[in-house]
Amino acid sequence: MARIIGGIGTSHVPTIGLAYDKGKQNEPAWAPMFKGYEPVAQWLAEQKPDVMVMFYNDHANSFFFDCYPTFALGVSPNHEFADEGAGKRPLPDIAGHPDLAIHIVEQLVADEFDLTVFQDRPLDHGVNSPLSLMLPHQGGWPLSLVPLEVNVLQYPLPTANRCYRLGQALRRAIESFEQDLKVVVVGTGGLSHQVHGERSGFNNTEWDMEFLDLIVNDPERLARMKHVDYVRLGGAESVETIMWLAMRGALGQKVRELHRSYYLATSTAMAVTIYEGEVA
C-alpha cells in the first residue's frame, strides 16, 4: 500500500530558481533563503520518497485564461519544464508516475472532485523553482512527480475549504493504491505578497507567522476563511496559500512541524516547512 510520509510547504517565487541558476547561494542577500532549504533537502535524502505529489499553479504558461481548469492532474510518464520567456532553466526533465497518477484521478473523480487530466504540458516555476532547491538533479531526479495544478489565478477560484477537502481525498486515494510507495505531498505558493495595483509590494509578516502556526494547529480555521480574507491579510497573490491547505489536508488531523524557514528580502515572503503527519 502507498503511504504519505510527510508534507512540505514552500514558496515558488521565480527569483528562487534564478538565484540558484546564477550560483548566488552564498551571497549575503540570498544565503539565508538557501540555508532554509538545506534541512528540507536533508530530510528528503533521509526519507527517500518514491513519489512527490505537488500542488502548484500554472502562471499562464501551459494553461491560459481561455481554458483554465480548477484542478488538473498530470499523468505523463515524463514532465519537462517551461520556457517562461527567458529560456528554459538548465534542469533535466522529471519522470512522472502514470500508474499512481491515473489511480488518483479515478479515485478523486469517484470522490466527486472533477479533474482535468493533462499530458505533455510543461511545468513552470510553480513547480521547478522550489524543486531545484529540495532535490539533487545532476544526471536526473531521485523520485517521480505527480503534478496537481490548482486555479488561483482566474476567478472563480476553488475555496480554501475545497482545497483542504481535496487534500483529504488525495490521502484516501494514495492509501488505496496497492503498490508499496513512499509519497511526499508538497503545497506551494505565497506567502504574503502583491505584485500589482495600489498595494504592490505589500507584505504582512505578522499574518505570515499566524498562518504558519494555523496550518499546523488549526487548519480548519484557515479552511473557513474566504478569499477576500487572504487578500486583505496577505495581499492579492497570497491567496496561493490555499494550496498549502491541500497539502495539509493530506496529512491527517495532527501534524508535527519539523522545520520552518521564513525570509523576506524581495516582494514575496519566502517560506519552506516540513511536516510529518498521522501514520497510515
- The per-residue pLDDT for 186 is 98
User: 139: how many CB neighbours lie within 10 A of its CB?
Assistant: 7
- Which stretches of the chain score pLDDT less than 50? 280
Helix ranges (DSSP H) in 148-266: 160-175, 205-217, 219-224, 227-234, 242-249
- The per-residue pLDDT for 280 is 46
**From start to end of the chain, where are the E strands?**
3-10, 51-56, 71-74, 78-79, 94-95, 116-118, 144-150, 182-188, 256-264, 269-276
- Determine if residue 23 is left, alpha or beta; phi over 0 gives left, psi from -120 to 50 gives alpha, anything else beta: left
User: 66: how many CB neighbours lie within 10 A of its CB?
Assistant: 6
Q: Which residues are catalytic?
A: 125, 193
Say if CB 276 and CB 256 are below 8 A apart: yes
- The per-residue pLDDT for 278 is 60
- The per-residue pLDDT for 46 is 98
Q: How far is CA 203 from the centre of its chain?
A: 20
Q: How far is CA 77 from CA 4, 102, 137, 211, 230, in A?
A: 21, 11, 17, 35, 36
Rounded to an integer, what distance in angstroms lies between the CA atom of residue 210 and that of residue 126? 23
Instruction: Express each pLDDT in 34-57 by its tens digit.
Output: 999 999 999 999 999 999 999 999
Domain that includes residue 194, residue range:
3-276
Strands 94-95 and 3-10: unpaired
Q: How far is CA 36 from CA 26, 144, 258, in A?
A: 13, 23, 12
Contacting residues for 149 by C-beta, under 8 A, at least 6 apart = 56, 57, 58, 63, 69, 71, 72, 73, 74, 118, 126
Cα distance between the two ends of the chain: 10
Say if CB 219 and CB 193 are below 8 A apart: no
pTM of the model: 0.96
Rounded to an integer, what distance in angstroms lies between the CA atom of residue 54 and that of residue 7? 10
User: 1: how many CB neighbours lie within 10 A of its CB?
Assistant: 11
Rounded to an integer, what distance in angstroms lies between the CA atom of residue 223 and that of residue 73? 22
| Number of folded domains that form the chain | 1
Q: For residue 184, what are the β-bridge partners? A: 6, 52
- The per-residue pLDDT for 263 is 94
Say if CB 276 and CB 262 are below 8 A apart: no
Q: How far is CA 28 from CA 31, 226, 243, 263, 269, in A?
A: 5, 38, 30, 12, 17
Size of the chain, expressed as the number of residues it contains:
280
CATH number at residue 229: 3.40.830.10
